Amino acid sequence: MPWMVRLRAHDGGEILERASFGSPSAAMDAYRLLLRREDLIGEPLTAVFKPPRGATGSDGNTSNWFSRFDRELGQGRIGPDDPRLDPFANSNDAYGAVNSPAPKPPAPVDWEADGRPFAEVLKDWARTRGGRNAAAAVRRVGRKTFDGWCGGRGAAQEAMARRLMTLADRSGSR
């Protein structure tokens, strides 16, 4: 059974755009793209996410996500990057998420203030970045250099490296 994403007008409920997907992840990706469309903000339109019957534990044939583009975030509209967007959410959880502010992301770690040896701090930072390749790319150093630092070889500019790690986390750069 298909997962459906729709753009619906408020007046009369006319479906303006629709798409069907074979997987929940593809449907949720499409829903996030729809929510991201800035040209729709302020318009009397609703983004609708509808799972197949029974996918959310409900026997009914109902949509679970309704996000109104004519409302503010947390007051009937949910942002595309909200971590609560879940294709398997029941309609009550989805309603609560759409009508409340998004949770605040955790504060970035202050790697400058971390008293552990640089090698340990760097390994932990690499884990938050998705691995050493990604972390080395953010630091703009070669993987061999990065591995050396993780192995305990000293870095002449350790204080600067820690500061750059902290700033990269605060800015959200990937």
| Ranges of each domain in the chain | 3-98, 118-171
Alpha helical stretches, state H, 13-157: 24-35, 91-98, 118-128, 132-139, 143-150
pLDDT, residue 25, reads: 93
- The pTM score is 0.62
| Mean pLDDT, 10 residues at a time, the chain of 174 residues | 92 92 94 94 94 76 85 92 90 91 82 93 87 88 91 86 89 70
pLDDT, residue 59, reads: 58
54-57 LR contacts (CB < 8 Å, sep 24+): 55/1, 55/3, 55/24, 55/87, 55/88, 56/88, 56/89, 56/90, 56/91, 57/90
pLDDT, residue 7, reads: 96
